[in-house]
Structure 1
């Protein structure tokens, strides 16, 4: 699987408890190549009177397309002790922290390409018709009837009871960015369950064990894009997302009022969601790497290049030239 999960800082070791807690799990952090400095152009909605057309509050979830849902469930529950918050037919919704944020496992067919298929952002007072109208006014047109995801297109999926939604359908909004990378918008209460807002997850299924690392939240996504400035203009023009800091030449777009962010990097290969970062408390990379190895995720060989192999981990030391500490 070339799209990876990563980890940041929130991890605290508790007395008598072998679990690691919160800040962003480092299942692999890809080193980002130096990119030309990019700043928002004039005319971006950030800071304009009235704010952006669609203010976003937080990350809600990521969906992984996997070849074997049962095997992936065993992996994520065994490592992180994740509760099944809801089921959408075959798709499993695994709660992150106390929810409603989650990681979904879908696909489950031999031959599918494992990947992060999309991410989801939350908004206040979700109304799919209003959001489709606003997106249309800002260059994201409705998809053709029966059409799928496409660049600068928006579609609504009505998730019915057969997929764990409301009897009359739970509206779910998907949009394509300029490269066709898929995002989703839902209410701040959305947990992947029943109800008109997908806010009812009333039959949780506890994991078989506690897991080794306790997750807290979603920290960030890094997306490889074909035109960095175009992508920055798109996300800022619609959602605000001010650039509040940078990692060297890589601008960081803030999501909501906390520490969550979106990184848009000019990357090799096709545009895609490169990795997601999940947070834990008191992150110490040596402890996390040892825990991963205990679970069967081996460190990648020193000097190895290219996408990581399955069940491998590695650490990158972000130095001052990329906004890191002097010692990395």
Structure 2
């Protein structure tokens, strides 16, 4: 679309089309441009994926051996290791269940509080918990898969 606009303005500047012709040509271009949905959350990244593992130390050694991934934070039942500049992989022992992906977290432009309000407006019931002064937002999708939403800078 930018090249079409440049061409139209160039034609106008060179006197090839009138102001009325320029306006007539601009209307369909602008009308055809898809707009961002006004009522959506803005996902900036996949912040992290948390795995339910059988042995945290064995999993840490495996991922650090493959990717040189340093531990960025620890919790009582697991650790988070860096995966790039802003993402991390959570390795947790979450009870007797089988190894699996526990949840996925998306990094947002919005705050947790704003995201929670947005979800409630869309009939989704978020759970916001405070962990050591950090608000964490969770909800379940239609297939009961846990999704977490956090500010993009969240590091566990």
Matching residue within 137, 156, 164 for 2:128: 156
**What SS does the aligned partner of 2:115 have?**
helix
Q: How far did 1:51 drift?
A: 3.0
Matching residue within 74, 90, 93 for 2:61: 74
CA contact (8 A) 2:41 2:110 kept: no
Runs ≥4 residues deviating over 4 A = 47-50
Matching residue within 99, 123, 138 for 1:139: 123
| Residue 187, structure 1, aligned to residue 154, structure 2 | no
Matching residue within 125, 141, 151 for 1:177: 141
Q: Report the counterpart of residue 247 of structure 1 in structure 2.
A: none
After superposition, residues 17-32 of structure 1 pair within 5 angstroms as none
Structure 2: distance between partners of 1:68 and 1:159? 24
Structure 2: distance between partners of 1:136 and 1:125? 15
Q: How far did 1:49 drift?
A: 6.0
Alignment TM-score, normalising by the size of structure 1: 0.35
Matching residue within 114, 126, 129 for 2:113: 129
- Report which of the two structures shows the higher radius of gyration computed on alpha carbons: 2
User: 1:183-224 CA distances to partner (integer Å, 9 max, x unpaired)?
Assistant: 1111111111xxxxxxxxxxxxxxxxxxxxxxxxxxxxxxxx
Q: Which has the higher contact order (CA 8 A, sep 6+)?
A: 1
**What SS does the aligned partner of 2:137 have?**
strand
Alignment TM-score, normalising by the size of structure 2: 0.71
**What SS does the aligned partner of 1:54 have?**
coil
**What SS does the aligned partner of 1:113 have?**
coil
Q: How far did 1:56 drift?
A: 1.2
CA contact (8 A) 1:76 1:82 kept: yes
Q: How far did 1:131 drift?
A: 1.7
Structure 2: distance between partners of 1:48 and 1:138? 20
Q: How far did 1:130 drift?
A: 2.2
CA contact (8 A) 2:70 2:81 kept: yes
Q: Report the counterpart of residue 91 of structure 1 in structure 2.
A: 78
Change in Cα spacing, 1:52 to 1:119, as seen in structure 2 (3 Å) is same
**What SS does the aligned partner of 1:82 have?**
coil
Task: Give RMSD over aligned pairs.
Answer: 1.8
Query: Gaps (5+ residues) in structure 2?
Result: 1-33
User: 1:121-179 CA distances to partner (integer Å, 9 max, x unpaired)?
Assistant: 111141x33222211111203xxxxxxxxxxxx1112112xxxxxxxx21000111111
Structure 2: distance between partners of 1:125 and 1:134? 10
Structure 1: distance between partners of 2:152 and 2:53? 26
Aligned length: 123
Structure 1: distance between partners of 2:101 and 2:73? 19
Larger helix percent: 2
Structure 1: distance between partners of 2:151 and 2:86? 10
